[in-house]
């Protein structure tokens, strides 16, 4: 199926690099048009220079034969029109009428020696930007075949340069010379197909893609680990347990089997309170009077109490939890699915490597 859709792709065009054409002194406007055979999308105008910044993002829908062109086009302002006119050779000067032939005789014999030609040497061709432009202002284009780079930009940003191919008109009037005029620099990002995720829940821009992947990575980090004694939540009495802060979760686990025994979602917490500070401020009337204690507060007057073994451990726990509660980034479903996909691929690669060795 040549047109099987598999998901959105982003192709931000950063700009032009090393453009080797005569740049006019007057400000010259250039645009870049993406054509994928179905749609034409043109960037806002930029000022033409040897290294031109464009910074325009294009979104594409991938299929098995996805190719697209990026075409640079110069606006035909008066100074560009004047350059086109300068390329037109002037008409040849009129030839003087031939002198009448004298009658025969000695004079005729003496005057029959050849004369030097009076034809003027043609002026050298004008080397201006218009020599590299088509009549509609097209300067150069690059062709991108997505299948050649798909694996290198799968769920990651990949920067690459493509040659800009253009033409130069020759003074002889013959066929123009095709040549590389510079490079166009773009970034590619492939978001794989995610069955079951509605398009409205997918990222709508490259920035949103990258932010979502950063966030899902944030949610996989272990930020702190230690021992606390807990009362509340799944503990109806004081229980000493090993705890680990992983992303937005405070996880209790068995120290021997390493299996998770309980999870507290810190995204639901609204505050972290030092019990001793609350007592000092005389605004606390709770049941906890244990030293080195603090509590997590949740909506609906829900709370979970903890106390640490040492003052130093309590300080560290308070520091970590206060940095998290109220500051937890979202973890979008599409990003979580991509992370799971990457973990599965990494696992298969390790298994294949083990079998081959």
> Which pair of structure tokens corresponds to residue 96?
């003087």
Q: How confident is the model at residue 3 (pLDDT cuts 50, 70, 90)?
A: very low
Contact 56, 12 (CB under 8 A): yes
Q: How confident is the model at residue 1 (pLDDT cuts 50, 70, 90)?
A: very low
CA distance 157 to 152: 8
Residue 278, pLDDT score: 65
Does residue 185 register a pLDDT over 60? yes
Q: Read off the pLDDT of residues 26-64 as tens digits, 9 standing for 90 and up.
A: 999 999 999 988 888 999 999 999 999 999 988 887 666
Does residue 88 register a pLDDT over 90? no
Residue 61, pLDDT score: 73
Most confident of 68-77, 143-152, 289-298: 68-77
Residue 180, pLDDT score: 97
Residue 108, pLDDT score: 46
Q: Read off the pLDDT of residues 93-125 as tens digits, 9 standing for 90 and up.
A: 777 777 666 665 544 444 445 555 555 555 556
The 3-state secondary structure of 286-318 reads CCCCCCCEEEEEECCCEEEEEEECCHHHHHHHH
CA distance 41 to 285: 65
Residue 126, pLDDT score: 74
Q: Read off the pLDDT of residues 196-228 as tens digits, 9 standing for 90 and up.
A: 888 888 888 889 999 999 999 999 999 999 999
CA distance 233 to 235: 5
Contact 270, 325 (CB under 8 A): yes
Find the range with the poorest average confidence among 89-103, 143-157, 171-185, 268-282: 89-103
Q: Checking phi first, is residue 301 left (phi over 0); if not, alpha (psi -120 to 50) or beta?
A: left
Domains of the chain, start order:
8-85+126-193 (2.60.40.150), 220-324 (2.30.29.30)
Residue 190, pLDDT score: 87
Classified as helix, coil or strand, 55 is strand
Residue 319, pLDDT score: 96
Q: Read off the pLDDT of residues 218-273 as tens digits, 9 standing for 90 and up.
A: 999 999 999 999 999 999 999 999 999 999 999 999 888 889 999 999 999 999 99
Find the range with the poorest average confidence among 127-141, 144-158, 282-296, 325-339: 282-296
Does residue 5 register a pLDDT over 80? no
The better pLDDT of the pair 290, 337 is held by: 337
Residue 220, pLDDT score: 95
Residue 39, pLDDT score: 81
Does residue 170 register a pLDDT over 70? yes
Q: Read off the pLDDT of residues 269-313 as tens digits, 9 standing for 90 and up.
A: 999 999 887 665 555 555 556 889 999 999 998 999 999 999 999
Could you tell me what percentage of the chain is helix, strand and coil, using 3-state DSSP and rounding each to the nearest 5?
A: 25, 35, 40
Residue 6, pLDDT score: 44
Residue 104, pLDDT score: 56
Phi, then psi, of 129 in degrees rounded to 5: -60, -35
């Amino acid at each position: 199926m040549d047109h099987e859709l598999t998901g959105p792709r982003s192709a931000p065009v950063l700009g032009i690099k090393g453009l080797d054409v005569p740049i006019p002194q007057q400000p010259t406007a250039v645009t870049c048009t993406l054509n994928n055979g179905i749609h034409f999308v043109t960037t806002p105008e930029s000022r033409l220079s040897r290294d031109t910044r464009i910074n325009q993002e294009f979104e594409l829908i991938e299929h098995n034969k996805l190719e697209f062109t990026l075409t640079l086009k110069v606006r035909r302002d008066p100074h560009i029109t004047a350059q086109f006119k300068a390329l037109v050779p002037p008409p040849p000067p009129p030839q003087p009428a031939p002198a009448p032939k004298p009658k025969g005789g000695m004079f005729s014999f003496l005057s029959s020696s050849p004369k030097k030609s009076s034809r003027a040497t043609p002026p050298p061709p004008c080397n201006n930007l218009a020599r590299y432009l088509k009549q509609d202002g097209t300067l150069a284009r690059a062709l991108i075949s997505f299948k050649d780079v798909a694996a290198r930009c799968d769920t990651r940003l990949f920067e690459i340069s493509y040659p800009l191919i253009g033409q130069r008109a020759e003074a002889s009037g013959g066929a123009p010379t095709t040549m590389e005029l510079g490079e166009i620099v773009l970034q590619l990002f492939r978001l794989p197909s995610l069955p079951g995720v509605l398009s409205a829940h997918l990222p709508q821009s490259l920035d949103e893609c990258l932010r979502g992947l950063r966030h899902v990575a944030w949610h996989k980090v272990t930020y702190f680990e230690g021992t606390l004694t807990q009362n509340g939540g799944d503990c109806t009495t004081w229980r000493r347990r090993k705890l680990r802060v992983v992303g937005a979760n405070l996880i209790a686990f068995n120290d021997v089997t390493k299996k998770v025994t309980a999870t507290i979602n810190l995204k639901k917490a609204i505050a972290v309170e030092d019990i001793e500070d609350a007592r000092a401020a005389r605004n606390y009337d709770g049941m906890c009077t244990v030293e080195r204690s603090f509590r997590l507060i949740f909506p609906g007057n829900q709370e979970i109490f903890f106390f640490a073994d040492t003052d130093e451990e309590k300080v560290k726990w308070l520091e970590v939890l206060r940095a998290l509660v109220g500051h937890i980034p979202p973890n979008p479903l599409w990003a979580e699915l991509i992370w799971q996909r990457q973990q599965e691929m990494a696992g298969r690669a390790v298994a294949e490597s083990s079998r081959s060795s």
